[in-house]
Amino acid sequence: MKENSLYDKKSIREITCKNVDWDEIVKDCVAFSNAQGGIIDYGIEDDCNEPPLGQIVSDSLKTVLINKIAGKTVGVNTNGEIITHDNGAQYLRLNIFRGNNVASTTSGKYFLRISDNSTPITGDDITRLSAEKGYFRWEDQASKWSWKDADKEKLRSLIEKLRFSDRVSDFVKQKEEKELLDHFFLTEEESDNMTNLGVLFIGTQS
């Protein structure tokens, strides 16, 4: 997969070498969180599309990565999963979720994912981003209609596309239907109501 505003890939050495550059790692996490969220695959070299043969990733490495990020960022929400490629080798997928508030490092630095770069932002850019995060988001507001009354064919088609998309992680694909809809802001987590965005995607026409 090509690196872009939603995806990055890095050598496993980035998180296993003797002197790990944690500042660089959390910079990317903050940048993704302040944009639309994203994925970083650790264990795939820049010029490759798969992990090197024989590569194994331990659960302890995943735990260290998640804990380090949590301790060095503010407002960043992540999880990790170890994925086995078709060639039998493993890599570590880090999922960074879109933040509802502006994220930063614990040292007070702010970044934003633009194209395939994690770009530092300051001053007016931070103010503008804060305002955008605080805007009333019509599409996220709950409607009065339940997802159980959605257009059955539209719902089936959407779920199928999500489960077979190469841009959706295996961790997300394994979720139940309602959890998938919650994850993509198509339903309210605390109820069966569709959001306005959900109505646009899977609602029925009166």
- In angstroms, the CA 202 to CA 43 distance is 37
**pLDDT-derived band of residue 137, with 50, 70 and 90 as boundaries?**
low
Instruction: Indicate if the pLDDT at residue 198 is higher than 70.
Output: yes
Q: Is the pTM of this model over 0.85?
A: no
High-pLDDT (> 90) share of the chain, %: 71
Contacts of range 183-189, beta carbons closer than 8 Å, 24 or more positions apart? 185/139, 185/140, 186/147, 187/147, 188/142
Question: What burial class does residue 150 get, using C-beta atoms within 10 Å of its C-beta: 0-12 exposed, 13-18 middle, 19+ buried?
Answer: buried
What is the per-residue pLDDT across 61-107, written as a single tens digit (0 to 9) for each?
999 999 999 999 999 999 999 999 999 999 999 999 998 889 999 99
- HSE-CB of 13 using CA atoms within 13 angstroms: 4
Instruction: Indicate if the pLDDT at residue 186 is higher than 60.
Output: yes
Close Cβ partners of 43 (under 8 Å, ≥ 6 residues apart): 11, 12, 51, 55, 57, 89, 90, 91, 92
Task: For the beta carbon of residue 103, count every other beta carbon within 10 angstroms.
Answer: 26
- What pLDDT is stored for residue 192 in this prediction? 93
What is the per-residue pLDDT across 52-61, written as a single tens digit (0 to 9) for each?
999 999 999 9
